[in-house]
Chain A
């Protein structure tokens, strides 16, 4: 057999390798360009009292989490218990942005399941979340004392993500 008959096989194998690498990557995972940049300031109507506003500037000087969620998002239901754990057991400050949601539905959700948020702003027109480069829910941002985004997690927050990715960074931020 001549070696040149092996060329198509070789090309095929190279293709297989490339496609296999492609399969391990998530095409929906768009890397954020906002990491280590100042988080855009927002001022949104308070979910529980529309006459008040929820301001990001109120969190200045703290290391805190910003969680974008909505009752329409199944993963938000899934992560809710863990957010409650963070708020209640670890006393970690979390501010919520309720994105494109029905206000009444959101209030009912938080009353029934518990409210892990210090405050919840509503963003029915995607104004604030677009400034944060959000394109899905849930997304969780870790913001430092100077108001800089240090980390962003897409999808449900879990024990594992918290322990492996957030906690070490938070310890560092709170020390410094």
Chain B
């Protein structure tokens, strides 16, 4: 009985620690979709590996509210992102624009992939060459015998 009570209590735990999420009301589902996209793509400055949508930091809450207000006011995604970038720099975007300073970020993975493929290619080719052994007459004779044995 005690054990059962404990289990029920643990099951109820998620209800108690239910996070406070600010849900903003939207009349227009299109605006809501834009808001969701924006808070997913903007980065929280406080906990920097989270986007605005995931972060519980107070600044992120305020930035979400501001984003909401701007979306409701009818500002475009570009305008809102530009507003944030003006204040916090490219850092605020999870998808930074292609610039000299971000070139490595965009090209780097493909570069490394290219090098990997090249190395693999060379490796495989060299292996292939190494496996064509030069046999002496005697060895070829033996090999033929073995192969014929198998066939019969």
Contact = CB atoms under 8 A, between A and B. Distances in A.
A10 to B, nearest CB: 14
Interface in B52-80: 58-59, 62-63, 65-66
A32 B46 contact: no
Interface string A85-128: 00000000000000010000000000000000000000001100
A114 B89 CA distance: 36
A125 B22 CA distance: 15
B103 to A, nearest CB: 17
Contact of B59 (A30, A32, A126, A131): A126
Contacts of B66: 126, 130
Nearest to B92: A30
B26 interface: no
Contact of A34 (B48, B62, B65, B87): B87
Given A30-B89, A32-B89, A133-B87, A126 B62 contact: yes
Given A27-B48, A30-B45, A135-B45, A125 B62 contact: yes
Given A135-B59, A136-B46, A30 B65 contact: no
Interface of B: 45-46, 48, 58-59, 62-63, 65-66, 85-89, 91
